Amino acid sequence: MKSAEWVGQQLKVLPCLLHNQTFIAPTWAQHSTPSLVIQQYNLAFQNNIDFVGLRYGGSGDYHITSKLHQINNFGCNSSDFVGLEGEIAFIPSGSCTIFTKAFLAQGANASAVIIYNTAQGSLPGSRVLPSPWFEGDPLVTVPVFGVSFSVGNYLREISINNSWEVLLRSNTTIYTTPTQNLFCDTPGGDPNSTIILGAHLDSVEAGPGINDNGSGSATVLELAIQWFATGLTPKNRIRFAWWGAEEEGLLGSRNYLRYLEQHDQAEFNTIALGLNLDMVGSPNFIPMIGKYSSDPSVPTAARNGSNYITKLFMDHYASIEAQHEFIEMTAGSDHYAFIEKGIPAGRIHSGAAQKKDIPLKRKYGGLINAIADTCYHQSCDDLQNFSSEILDQIPVAMASVLQTLANLENLREKLREGAAIISTNAQDRITFKDKHEF
C-alpha cells in the first residue's frame, strides 16, 4: 500500500485521470524455520534442500507427531482420503493442483500434508492456493510440506510400516488484507480503445524487490512522466497501471479484469491490449520478447493481437541492430491475466531464473552458467541488484512500441489481423518457458 501511495503522489502533478481499485488479498508469513524429523532415528531433514514449507500451507504454530498415511492415488478425489483422520497425508504430485490435494486432505481431517515429487527435479514450489484466488475463496489451514524425489522415496518406504511416526513443526500465519491497483489515464485518446501498460508494485517477503519489480514499476512511472511531458494526445487511450499482489498469483490484474467483466462490461470491452513490464534490470540479463505459443483454448483475436505486438518489439530491436531472445507468454506475470480473458498482450523481460550458456554469453556478456538474476526472490534484490545497460535498453523498446500502438489508426483491426512472427535469425534465438505457476 505504501508503494502505491508514493506512486500516487508522483502522479498527482501529471495531467492524468488518477483512480484506483481496492481488493482483498491473502498474505502468508513463516515465523520460524520448519522441521521434519523421523522420530525412531531422530533423523532431521534439511529445510529448503530435502523439504520446504509451502506458501499458504497452514496457519498456526504446529508441533505434530503422527503417522504417515500413504495416499495410493494422486489425491484428487475425496474418496482417496478414507481413513485418514489425525494422520499426515502423504500424497504424490501430479494430476491436479497442490491446493486440491491439500484442501481435500484437510476436509478428511488430516493433521498435515506432505507432497512428494514423483520424478527427479526441484522441490515442489507451488502456492497452496486455488488459481486464480478471489475474496471468499477457501484457504488451507493445516501445514503443507513439499519433499524431494529422494526423500519422498524414503518416506514412502517407511510409511509401509504404519507404526513409524514423523515430527513436523510449522509456525505460519495466513490472513487477508486490503491492497490496491493504481491507474493513470490519458485524458485524450479513443476511450473505446484502451491500451493498458502495467507493472506490479509488490515484492516477495524475502527481498526488497529492486529488480522484481521496482525496475518494472519505476519504468512505467517514467514512461508516464515522459508521455505527459510531450503534450501529445494519443489516438488510443493509454492507461498506466500499477498492480498489487502479483506475487500471490496475479491477484491485482486478475481482480481488475474480473471486476470489469462482471460489473462494467462496457469498460471491459474498451480494453484493446495489455503490456507488461516485470524484471527489466536483471544483472546477468538476457533480453526476452514475449511470444505467444498457439493455444486452441485462447480466442484467435488474442493470439493474432499478441503476435502483432511481438512483431513490433522485434522490429524495434532490428532497427537498433540489437539481439534478443523470446519467452513464452503462457504464465509468469500480469500479461497472463489478459491472455486468460482473450485480450492480446505483450511483454519484454530481462530474465529471472533463466541460465546463461556460452552462446548467450557471447551475445550479451555477463556470467556463464549463472541465472539472469541470482538475487531473484532473495534478500539481495537490493539497490545494487540491477544492470544499467539493460535498464537503458528495455524502457526505450517499450516506449517505442507504446508510441506506435498509441498512435495507430484502427488499432483493433491491426490486432485482429495479427502479424507473422518471422525472424531472419530464428535458429539462433531461444524461446524460454516461464516456469511460474499462476
Spell 350-374 as b/e; 16+ CB within 10 A means b: bbbebebeeebbebbebeeeebbbe
Cα angle 57, 437, 345 (rounded to 5 degrees) comes to 140
Determine which one of 246, 247, 248, 325 is catalytic: 246
Cell output for 359: 552462446
Beta bridge partners, 178, equal 24
Let me know if 246 is a catalytic residue: yes
Q: Which residue has the cell 491446493?
A: 99
**Are 166 and 44 a contacting pair, CB within 8 Å?**
no
Please state, in angstroms and rounded to a whole number, the distance separating the CA atoms of residues 349 and 287: 6
**Which burial class, exposed, middle or buried, applies to 403 when counting CB atoms under 10 A from its CB (0-12, 13-18, 19+)?**
middle
Q: How many CA atoms lie within 13 A of 250 on its CB side?
A: 23
Supply the angle between the helices 300-319 and 388-406 in degrees, to the nearest 10: 120
The span from the first CA to the last CA of the chain, in angstroms, equals 22
State the alpha helices, DSSP H only, in 120-210: 149-159
Please state, in angstroms and rounded to a whole number, the distance separating the CA atoms of residues 424 and 438: 33
Q: How many helices (H) and strands (E) does the chain have?
A: 11, 16
Residue type, position 80, single letter: D
Cell output for 59: 496457519
By three-state DSSP, how is residue 230 classified? helix
Cell output for 433: 518457458
CA nearest neighbour of 168 among 111, 119, 120: 111
Q: 3-class secondary structure for 275-290? A: EEECCCCCCCCCCEEE
- Would you please indicate which residues are annotated as catalytic (active-site) residues? 246
